A = this chain, B = another copy of it.
Amino acid sequence: MLLVEDEPAVRLGVRLALERAGHRVLEAESAQGAWPLLKEAEAVILDWMLPDEPGIKLLERMRQGPFPELPVLLLTARAEVRDRVEGLSRGADDYLAKPFATEELLARLEALLRRAGKRKLLRRGPLLLDLERMEASLGGRPLPLTRREFALLAFLAQRPGRVYTREELLEAVWGQDYLGTPRTVDQHVLQLREKLGEDPKAPRFLETVRGIGYRFREAG
């Protein structure tokens, strides 16, 4: 997620909101600074006015250049119909008028990503699972998980609050014909907890339900 915005206060606010929502954030203060970061980005939040050139100019170069598809959300101080039309016609996928609520921003971004990538994302607080790519991130930082770990975590996170026995987990994640100790599940839970930075006393995500099994903690 690339954030191109020259005003520090706005940049900080948006950045924090994005990270809270599980995005990894790159920043740039100018069109020039943004250009080399584009190839890292899945989407761009672009200010209309930038110190070196109008954001819309950058957008135009992107569209005619190597990034014809990259989702762009345009931030503008002017909310006039005229600007809106201009922005969209020049290749923005959506726009948002300042001042805006961060929730609004997040919601639009979500919609944008969904429309653009049709990627299936599973978000649980700071934890983000990209089910299509089998990639995970925590608080914006990429989280390297193995296949089993990812599959187990994704399965549990699918229904927060529901408790699964080790046998159910083995069947769902390992396959119905799997033979092996139920304790294997424990081991993977251990690995996951470590990678997730869980406090052994008060896990944020993976809870043990003594005598039964494990569950993903409900939101809140």
Inter-subunit contact B88/A155 (CB<8 Å) = yes
With A151-B84, A154-B85: A163-B134 Cβ-Cβ less than 8 Å: yes
Q: Which residues on A are within 8 Å of B, measured CB to CB? A: 79, 81-82, 84-86, 88-90, 104, 120, 122, 131-135, 146-148, 150-151, 154-155, 158, 161-163, 172-173, 175-176, 209-212
12 CB < 8 A contacts A-B: A81-B151, A81-B173, A84-B172, A85-B134, A85-B154, A86-B132, A89-B154, A90-B120, A104-B176, A133-B161, A133-B163, A147-B210
Q: Least Cβ distance of A27 to chain B in Å?
A: 25
Within 8 Å CB of A85, what residues of B? 131, 134, 150-151, 154-155
- The CA-CA distance from A131 to B82 in the complex, in Å, is 8
**CB atoms of B89 and A120 under 8 A apart:** yes
* Nearest opposing residue in chain B for A131, CB measure: B89
Chain B contacts for A132, CB-based, 8 A? 86
